[in-house]
Each structure stands twice: as structure tokens, then as C-alpha cells.
Amino acid sequence: MQFALNEDQVAVRDMALAFAAEKIAPHALQWDEEKHFPVDVMREAAALGMGGIYIREDVGGSAMSRFDAALIFEALATGCPTTSAFISIHNMASWMIDAFGSDTQRQKWLPKLCTMELIASYCLTEPGAGSDAAALRTRAVRDGDHYVLNGQKQFISGAGGTDLLVAMVRTGGDGPGGISTLVIDGETPGVSFGANERKMGWNAQPTRAVMFENARVPVANRLSEEGVGFKIAMAGLDGGRLNITACSLGGAQTALDKARSYMKERKAFGKRLDEFQALQFKLADMAIELEAARTFLWRAAAALDRKDPDATMLCAMAKRFGTDVGFEVANHALQLHGGYGYLSEYGIEKIVRDLRVHQILEGTNEIMRLIVARKLIEGAR
């Protein structure tokens, strides 16, 4: 069990914190307002090894652990949860190629993915298949050395601004056994994108539908065998759930820090806010919940690194708990600011808006409960 960071882990975390403070935080509000996708800054992060955090070294990856990744994404999210979350999605899609691709596929795509010269999106959700991912309907029909794709993906982060789409498609019959994974060039004829969605938060990354209309994708772009795609997608989501939890904690930590600073400055009824015991208790509870969620995240990340049989359940547990805590801490921080928290210039309302979606994506928190319940019930038999 790990309850303290070693020197290397402290160095990695501090590097990411410094990058977030210098390169991300000063621009986060502007990126949100202008809906700017900061590809140039993300490539600077990739130059420091954050474009392929847990990708193997032979293709330019950093070969770090999931535990290291959790530290990095939390640190980056202190500057902007949205930017950190997209870098995490890019890492998740890239890892799927690294873990399940052939050596030819790895050498073709991963060196440029690790530098973020190429940027990847993860394409699973469909208009009629959100939580019920095994019901996806995007169809890929074999035609010689190609698949012909027809269908639509929905809520795809980065779509229209990324180069590669790691997409789950149906090559066989109904259910999870009929799903395969294809790596698709975003400029393939027959691939098009919807309008950038108008969202509550996450404005610094585009979110669009992806449409396939007789798009021809080489069979050579399939990861592993036909019918393994659902397994690949779920394996990617274990790590993705840790990453998005880390992003929640980083955003919440910044909200807590802002609230603590504000309470030292603001006076009411002749006293500073931090002199009121009721508000001290609120601040303490926020810090306690955040630390508990961080400890849970670290445990789940360590379990995934050692391939623990309960890793999937622990990742689901950590995601449910951590993203709920992250949102609640940010929301309480807004309340502690009073009316000022509702103003964009203080940066709190952006964090609240950004963190709300973390309770939905990478599997809703209701689905996290379902994963845990199924594991518990199976274990009792």
C-alpha cells in the first residue's frame, strides 16, 4: 500500500503543476469564453512526456504508470479541468493502440500521437446507445481489404479538431461479441462532423457528432481480431475513469484553494469569513472529502497497475466517489464566495460547470454503481 509519494512521483507531479500554473491557468477563462481548443499548449505538454504517459518507450511514450498518470492529470486540472480531461482522452485512445495494436500499427501511429502531432478521439457513444454501449449500431461491412462504415457517433470529444478516431463499430451480430475497433483517419471520405455542441462546460474542447456515410477504412486499421472491440473499449475505460476522477480532484482543489483565500480577505459582520466556525467546518469537510477521494483514486490506480482482479470494480468505485466529491467541493466553494462566486472573473463557476459532466462521461455514476453491484453479487455466489 502506498501512502506517500516517492521522489520521482513528486517530481512528476510538480512538473505538471508548474506547467499548469504557467501555461494553462492564465488562459483558462479565455479559452472557455472563446471555445478555443489549445492544441499548441497541449503539444507543449506532450513535449514534456504528457502525450503518451503510459505508452511504451519504443514508440516515444513515457512508459509511466497509471498512478503517475493520476498525479499528472490532477495537477494539470488545477489549471483547467477541460484541457486536462482532453489530454487524458488522447492518452486513453493512444493506449488502446499501444495495448491492442500490432507492431506495425504501433509504429505507424504512436510516435506522432506521443508528440501530439497527431491527436486522437475516442468514439464509443451513439445517439441511441449511451450507457448501453453494447447496443451500438454503427455498421462496418467487409468489402475486400476495406470496411464500409455507416452510422453515427455522438458526444465525441475533440471531433473535428483531431486527426484519428479510435472507433467501436459493429462488424458482427448483436451484443458485445459483434463489436470491433478501427483506427480511422479523420479526413477519410465519407467521414463528417456535426456542429460544435453548445455545452454547459468543457468549452475549451470541441464536442461533435461523427457521421459515417459509406466511409472506406482499411481492414489493416482494425485493432486485434474482429469481435474484440467491446473488450478493448472497456479496458480503455478503466483507465479513463481514473483519469477523469483525477481531473475532478484537480479542479476541486483549485476551487477549495480559491475559497480559502477568499475567506481570508472577505469580511462580514465585522469578522473575516474564516473566523466563523460554521464556515471553518464547511472548509474542513471539503478538504476531508477531497483527501478521501484522492486516497481512493491512488488505491484504484495502484490496483490497475498491478492488474488486480478487482481493478475494474475499484476504478468504478473511485470514479463514482471522486467525481461526486469533486463537483460538490467546487459547488460549496462557489457558495462560500456568495454572489461573487457566480461571476465568471473569479473562475469558480467555470470549475463547477466543467466538473458537472464528469459525473456523466466515462460511464455515468449510476453505471458505476451497477458495475460495483454486479461484482459484489457475483462474488457472493
C-alpha dihedral sign at 80, 31, 365, 91: negative
CB 194, CB 208: distance < 8 Å: yes
CA dist 361 and 49 (Å) reads: 25
CA dist 110 and 56 (Å) reads: 9
C-alpha dihedral sign at 344, 345, 351, 354: positive
Q: What are phi and psi of 132, to 5 degrees?
A: -90, 65
Q: Copy the grid coordinates of residue 45.
A: 505538454
> Please, is 265 exposed, middle or buried when counting C-beta atoms within 10 Å of its C-beta (0-12, 13-18, 19+)?
exposed
Residues paired with 165 in a beta bridge: 121, 184
CA dist 187 and 190 (Å) reads: 9
**Exactly one of 74, 126, 328, 362 is catalytic; which is it?**
362
DSSP letters along 248-263, please?
A: HHHHHHHHHHHHHHHH
275 a catalytic residue? no
Query: For cell 512508459, what's the residue?
Result: 63
Distance (Å) of CA 369 to CA 202, 249, 366: 25, 20, 5
CA dihedral 303, 308, 310, 313 (to 10 degrees): 40
Q: Which residues are catalytic?
A: 362
